[in-house]
Amino acid sequence: MEDEQIIELYLQRNEKAVEATQNKYGSYCFRIAKNILIVPEDAEECVNDTWNSAWNKIPPIIPVSLKAFLGKLVRDISLSRYRANHAQKRYRGIEVMFDELEECIPSGFDVAQNFDEQQLSEIINGWLDGLSKEDRVLFIKRYYYGDAVKALAKEYGCAENQMAQRMLKLRKNLKLFLSAKGFKI
């Protein structure tokens, strides 16, 4: 079913919208949640919460891209769950990703809580715009969707060590860019 048809079902308040959404984007949303939370049961709960959130937000919101809309919802819900679990010291989850980024995010920012701060977000988006499409996609897959370096290496047909070096190069490039923009690293 096409996204426009699914959105129309939401607008009509037809419960088949949730089923169609789950059929089309269930594995996509689950992957995002599992990358953040690690525990499959928690990821599944977040995906179910995503369907509920989509039901409550459409309307009044009419997403331009249903996939991106759902990706943002499931990521936000999963990060909230991660923070709650992390406060209870239950999971390691995405700490590895945040640790990697910490070396190039300005001091004074708590990476886990303030990564989405508007000003920094806009500057990072500007940096991403200057990258090649492949590097931009890699960075987003790793640090937004939480894909493992090993999975990215397999997807791009290179050794895990090569992919790790490529990600390190991207982080160093981001660090230099942020320094040039006046951020204290």
**Dist. CA 47–CA 78, nearest whole Å:** 8
On whether both 72 and 46 belong to a single domain, the answer is yes
Residues 99 and 176 occupy one common structural domain: yes
Shared domain for 100 and 81, answered yes or no, is no
pLDDT digits (tens, 9 = 90+) for 38-71: 899 999 999 999 999 999 999 999 999 999 999 9
185: in domain: no
Task: Note the pLDDT tens digit of each residue in 100-136.
Answer: 777 776 555 555 445 445 677 778 888 999 999 999 9
Of 32, 62, 87, the position where a domain reaches its end is 87
Gap between the Cα atoms of 147 and 51, Å rounded: 22
Enclosing domain of residue 53: 3-87
Q: Is there a domain that residue 161 lies in? A: yes
Pair 170, 138: CB distance under 8 Å: yes
Residues 145 and 165 grouped into a single domain = yes
Question: Global pTM?
Answer: 0.68
Q: How far is CA 181 from CA 118, 122, 124, in A?
A: 15, 12, 10
**Domain end point (choices 87, 117, 138):** 87
Q: pLDDT tens for residues 9-37?
A: 999 999 999 999 999 999 999 999 999 88
In sequence order, which ranges of the chain are alpha helices (DSSP H)? 3-11, 16-37, 40-57, 66-87, 95-102, 111-114, 118-129, 133-143, 149-156, 160-180
How many structural domains comprise the chain? Answer: 2
Quickly state the pLDDT bin for 151 (edges 50, 70, 90).
Answer: very high
Question: Rounded CA gap, 90 and 82, in Å?
Answer: 9
Of 49, 71, 87, the domain-final residue = 87
